Amino acid sequence: MGDIIKLVGKRLGLGLLILLIISIIIFFMVELLPGDIAQAVLGQGATAENLKALRTKMGLDDPAIVRYLAWLADAVTFDFGRSIVTDEKVTTIIGERFANTLFLAAYAAVIAVPVSIILGVVVALLRNSVFDKVANVVTLSFISSPEFFLGYILILYFSVKWGIFPSIASLSDSMSFWELLNRTFLPALTLVLVVMAHMMRMTRAAIINLLASPYIEMAKLKGAPPWKVIVKHALPNAWAPIINVIALNLAYLITGVVLVEVVFVYPGIGQALVDAVSKRDFPVVQACCLIFAATFILLNLAADVGAILTNPRLRHPK
């Protein structure tokens, strides 16, 4: 148990260091943008007094390192400042939107994870069959297609031609849970088609790689049916790579939803990031990027911990 805690502590410390480096990159990449930030926000018609007042409000008169340290100290306490455009607290702006993004990611994950694992087991059982070849072609097609392209294809058929689901995922507080699922089905399905292909192929590869192991051959010689060999003997030992790819794809579901949210006008944090970039609302941009980075690092940490717990060789390294 002590080895596991030590390994998790090392991963956590490395994750915090990476997040610190990313925060430096995020802050100073905004600083390196050409032109005057205050001028870009207020436009060419701004007066000198307005520009000076905005620079003072944003702390642009201070050195960049001083502003970074102040921003980092506030970010640690989840205070990302106030929006330049609306003067609202950034946490208020992105809080509800981040919750919407988490709901969309969870919706897609609930569909994608079990389906991809089941399909991965099936294609491993039917390796080199027609079904296996068709599944490989279909999954490679989904992996190779951009998210916005898949989204528009789904809108064309499921919304325009067949009229089954709405093309715009607008939300309201008065909606029932089933109506919410209906409104968000197309963006969730778009994410499912992308991530399910990765997870299914990794499950298939992990199981096929284990089928040549001596204990698998012994189970076959004992007369165990193929499904029992995979489910009882191969799958438990394939969990480590499968958990890793699932965690990485869950991270993508949260951090890679920007295009999907824009296509379906879904009020998530990705849409908030796009709106903030177009309006030069830099505090919101910095907060969204930092949240994306922290989420990705956290889920990678979860993948490492999951791999350690499911693999005795990682729990007890020599």
Could you list the residue range(s) of the whole structural domain that residue 72 is in? 2-76
158: DSSP letter? I
**Domain end point (choices 49, 76, 103):** 76
- Is 126 a domain residue? yes
Higher pLDDT, 29 or 37: 29
Q: Which of 308, 311, 318 is nearest to 10 (CA)?
A: 308
Closest listed residue to residue 215, CA positions, set 238, 244, 199: 238
Domain boundary among 11, 43, 76: 76
Q: Phi and psi for 198 in degrees, rounded to 5?
A: -60, -50
Distance CA 101, CA 187 (A): 11
Verify that 214 and 98 share a domain, yes or no.
yes
Q: What are phi and psi of 146, to 5 degrees?
A: -65, 155
196/190 Cα distance (integer angstroms): 10
Q: What are phi and psi of 171, to 5 degrees?
A: -120, 155
Please check whether residues 120 and 48 belong to one and the same domain.
no
Question: How many domains does one find in the chain?
Answer: 2
> Exposed, middle or buried, 151 (CB in 10 Å: 0-12/13-18/19+)?
buried
Residues 169 and 265 in one domain: yes
For the cut 70, the answer to whether the pLDDT of residue 36 exceeds it is no
The least confident of 4-18, 130-144, 148-162, 226-240 is 226-240
In this prediction, residue 42 carries a pLDDT of: 67
Residue 165 pLDDT: 87
Read off the CATH number of the domain in which 119 is found: 1.10.3720.10
Helix 90-125 / helix 130-144 crossing angle, nearest 10 deg: 160
In a domain, 45, yes or no: yes
pLDDT band at 21 (very low <50, low <70, confident <90, very high): very high
Residue 164, CA distances (Å) to 161, 180, 183, 236, 292 in order:
9, 14, 10, 39, 32
- Whether residues 65 and 109 share a domain: the answer is no
Residue 83 domain flag: no
DSSP 225-272: -HHHIIIIIIHHHTHHHHHHHHHHHHHHHHHS-HHHHHHTT--SHHHH
Same domain, 202 and 58: no
| Domain termination site, one of 43, 76, 109 | 76
Tens of pLDDT, residues 127-173: 888 888 888 888 888 888 888 888 889 999 998 888 888 888 878 77
Asked, for residue 42, whether it belongs to a domain, the answer is: yes
Domain co-membership, 142 together with 228 = yes
Q: Are both 11 and 136 inside the same structural domain?
A: no
Q: What is the pLDDT of residues 186-210, one digit of tens each?
A: 999 998 888 888 888 888 887 777 7
Q: Are residues 71 and 95 in the same domain?
A: no
Round the average pLDDT of the chain to a whole number and report it.
81
Residue 63 included in any domain: yes
> In terms of domains, do 20 and 125 share one?
no
**Same domain as 71, residue 97:** no
Whether this model's pTM surpasses 0.85:
no
Domain annotation covers residue 313: no
What's the CA gap between 269 and 257, in Å, rounded? 9
Nearest residue to 273 via CA among 261, 287, 285:
285
Do 12 and 131 lie in a common domain?
A: no
Comparing C-alpha atoms, which of 236, 279, 255 is closest to residue 85?
Answer: 279
Residues 252 and 181 in one domain: yes
